[in-house]
Amino acid sequence: MQDTNYSLQQLLDFTVQIFKAMGCPDADAQTAAIVLLQADLRGVDSHGVARLSGYVRLWEAKRVNATPDIKVIHETPSTAVVDGDSGLGLVVAPFAMQLAIEKARNVGTGWVSVQNSNHYGIAAAHAMKALEHDMVGISMTNASPLVAPTFSTAKMLGTNPICVAAPAGEQPAFVADLATTTAANGKLEILQRKNEEAPLGWVQDSEGHPATDANILKKGGALLPLGGDREHGSHKGYALGAVVDIFSALLSGANYAPWVPPFPAYVPMPAKQPGKGIGHFFGAMRVDAFRTVEAYKHDMDDWIEGFRKAATVKGQDKVLIPGDPEREAEVERRASGIPLLPAVADDLKALGEKMGVPF
Amino acid sequence: MQDTNYSLQQLLDFTVQIFKAMGCPDADAQTAAIVLLQADLRGVDSHGVARLSGYVRLWEAKRVNATPDIKVIHETPSTAVVDGDSGLGLVVAPFAMQLAIEKARNVGTGWVSVQNSNHYGIAAAHAMKALEHDMVGISMTNASPLVAPTFSTAKMLGTNPICVAAPAGEQPAFVADLATTTAANGKLEILQRKNEEAPLGWVQDSEGHPATDANILKKGGALLPLGGDREHGSHKGYALGAVVDIFSALLSGANYAPWVPPFPAYVPMPAKQPGKGIGHFFGAMRVDAFRTVEAYKHDMDDWIEGFRKAATVKGQDKVLIPGDPEREAEVERRASGIPLLPAVADDLKALGEKMGVPF
């Protein structure tokens, strides 16, 4: 079966209607849909509408509050902690990122840690909001425990992504958005669907041996931190994932480590809940809190051009700048539509029937 | 030949005298020696007194100013840019980190980008200063270009380390200090001395092919970003190294990318110098700018204990917390002294004779 392309507008309208059918206020439904669709636009198919029915199942399981009272519960001139009141991360995160931007406007930088939230789509959707204000944006979140730290067989951390978005001048912005694992879980799901093996270094089996079975997580296996094994620096990927957990949950009072609430609604909540919901962390730094925007952008363009002109290995025609592939996907998908796997389209159709929204 | 152990005090005294012989004021010589020796204490032998004669050679080449006028050239309540006036990074960095801490005291967080500096020792020596104030500390720096970005044969980035230090309660602090490459250059130097090969994934040859020759950097080869190759996430290591460069140099006006001044004084300065000196970036976040120190420390202890108790793979007796190996090295070396390779001791002896300071 072939993928079918759908227009951005069509998927946006449908997603807004689904969130409204869950009881989300109009503005929240719009916000959430735009954030979710950023993933499909940028080619991160695992994190977009393919997950819409997953969000609905969390709401059905009463783990998502469609009408949250999102509150600042602690703050200083450059920081805040936000309580997301169990709302969709797709709604809570934009609130928190906006707050970071406002604090940066006032005192140079803003840093917001979030408790009591849910999954927030792709990290880049939030960090990139800073770009419009000539600010550097930072976004990270903890997530369902799937990753074993170096030397362990236990799934103690999520894939805990970090995004840093830095504006440029004539050049498009630098946008690094990366899971702190060798491969994101979405990449593994693609292999599962294709019935293919994973490269060594992505996963381990239940005893911690190197494995290539893409379904190993269902058999007690785990994703590996960036680096893969100790000899190749997995302790660094583990440390980075841990930093994301500390900033997102230890600074906010969210759940951490293996006690982060799982995204799949059928997975029971951990018996221990040391905090509230899942945690995120956002930052915004005004470029002109450091030097003039003009001088910075001049150098940033020069930096990007230097990498674009760097000598390549045989068989590669260019060195990529972080964010290039996603930006190219967005250009193409705005023009030609967003391709959905038949299974995803069927799932959305079924979801629409259940929620009374035609797909 | 066996290593000989030297007491911390002996090496400190010698290092202070060497810096004073360069013309550093007393207080600066003390500061620089303490920072440099942190590396030896923490078991990072490549970054400690073994590099002392390298710093002296930079001073002889007039690339280091022994009496810098370190200045804040731009600031907001939560940010600053510091001009290090070509001083030792070992002196400039503590000034900048202290400023970040003061800003955090005032407005919750402080962020300082530095231009016109030199190498600053280990990243952890600076980030850990925040711990004394119940703050999270962050430290990063760009460095001599040794690393090829994914798909490139060109050395465009340094090993650009990141350190994040987060306080705990009863438990020792969490201290992640990592080069954004599969292996730090110091690890490669150890293999060179032992005449051993590097594991695949650490370096590539001049054409970008996987290589195991530990001397390959002298033959046009390069260190690889954390991940090793594209399939194992090297684009993530590259992106992280790039973020360090942007924060350290693009925000401050230091040299960036392949134009960072090399540490070895015999390597000529790059013809192009888009900025001044090398760049660093420091952050301090007051824990109580987010939540009470008590609640945070309670959770942080629980987090650390959770990882310590995690199931291990066969043959490993425990899961390490970032910072554990370095802290254990420090306990041992404070008690038994710091082992120096005969070649390093000889080098220090020769340096002492040249500078009129008995070793």
CB contact under 8 A, A299 and B111: no
How many A-B residue pairs are in contact by the CB < 8 A criterion? 268
Confirm whether A10 is domain-assigned. yes
Residue B253 has its nearest CB partner, among A235, A291, A312, at A291
Determine the 3-state secondary structure of A331 from DSSP. Answer: helix
Q: Say how far apart CA B39 and CA B46 lie, in whole Å.
A: 8
Confirm whether B320 is domain-assigned. no
Confirm whether A308 is domain-assigned. no
pLDDT number for residue A3: 84
> What is this model's ipTM?
0.98
As a three-state string, the secondary structure of A46-92 is HHCHHHHHHHHHHHHCCCCCCCCCCEEEEEECCEEEEECCCCCHHHH
Residue A311 has its nearest CB partner, among B136, B153, B291, at B153
- Using alpha carbons, select from B174, B170, B176, B175 the residue that is nearest to residue B301: B170
pLDDT number for residue B1: 58
Contacts with A, B 99-118, CB within 8 Å: 107-109, 111, 113
Partners of B136 on chain A (C-beta within 8 Å) are: 246-247, 251
Contacts with A, B 17-76, CB within 8 Å: 74, 76
Tally of structural domains, chain A? 1
Contacts with A, B 181-200, CB within 8 Å: 181-183, 199
Confirm whether B309 is domain-assigned. no
Residue B268 CB neighbour total at 10 angstroms: 9
Our CA-based measurement puts residue A326 at a distance from the nearest CA of chain B, in whole angstroms, of: 13
First to last CA, chain B: 19
Residue B72 CB neighbour total at 10 angstroms: 13
Partners of A145 on chain B (C-beta within 8 Å) are: none
pLDDT by 10s per residue, chain A, length 359 = 578 999 999 999 999 999 999 999 999 999 999 999 999 999 999 899 999 999 999 999 999 999 999 999 999 999 999 999 999 999 999 999 999 999 999 999 999 999 999 999 999 999 999 999 999 999 999 999 999 999 999 999 999 999 999 999 999 999 999 999 999 888 898 899 889 999 999 999 999 999 999 999 999 999 999 999 999 999 999 999 999 999 999 999 999 999 999 999 988 999 999 999 999 999 999 999 999 999 999 999 999 999 999 999 999 999 999 999 999 999 999 999 999 999 999 999 999 999 999 99
Residues B301-354: tens digit of each pLDDT = 999 999 999 999 999 999 999 999 999 999 999 999 999 999 999 999 999 999
Q: Which helix (H) or strand (E) holds A204?
A: strand A203-204
CB contact under 8 A, A313 and B240: no
| Strand partners of residue B211 | B203
CB contact under 8 A, B199 and A74: no
**Which residue did the predictor score with more confidence, B185 or A14?**
A14
Strand order across the B222-223 sheet: B210-211, B203-204, B222-223
CB contact under 8 A, A253 and B291: yes
| Strand partners of residue A284 | A110, A137
pLDDT number for residue A228: 96
Q: What is the mean pLDDT of chain A?
A: 97
Q: Is the pLDDT of residue B139 over 90?
A: yes
CB contact under 8 A, B109 and A79: yes
Determine contact: B302 vs chain A, CB below 8 A: yes
Confirm whether A275 is domain-assigned. yes
Confirm whether A341 is domain-assigned. yes
% residues pLDDT > 90 (chain B): 95
Residues B45-74: tens digit of each pLDDT = 989 999 999 999 999 999 999 999 999 999
Residue A274 has its nearest CB partner, among B208, B228, B299, at B299
pLDDT number for residue B79: 99
Partners of B113 on chain A (C-beta within 8 Å) are: 290
- Stretch B3-20: mean pLDDT, rounded? 96
First to last CA, chain A: 19
Confirm whether B116 is domain-assigned. yes
Partners of A109 on chain B (C-beta within 8 Å) are: 76, 78-79, 109, 111
pTM summary value = 0.98
pLDDT bin (cut points 50, 70, 90) of residue B2 is: confident
Confirm whether A310 is domain-assigned. no
pLDDT number for residue A1: 59
Our CA-based measurement puts residue B237 at a distance from the nearest CA of chain A, in whole angstroms, of: 9
Q: What is the CATH number of the domain that holds B266?
A: 3.30.1370.60
Segments forming the whole domain that contains residue B101:
4-292+325-355
Our CA-based measurement puts residue B190 at a distance from the nearest CA of chain A, in whole angstroms, of: 14
Pairing of strands A79-83, A210-211: unpaired
Q: In Å, how far are A111, A285, B208 from A77, measured between CA atoms?
A: 10, 13, 48
Tokens of B207: 């054409």
Query: Nearest residue of B to residue A150 by CA position?
Result: B319
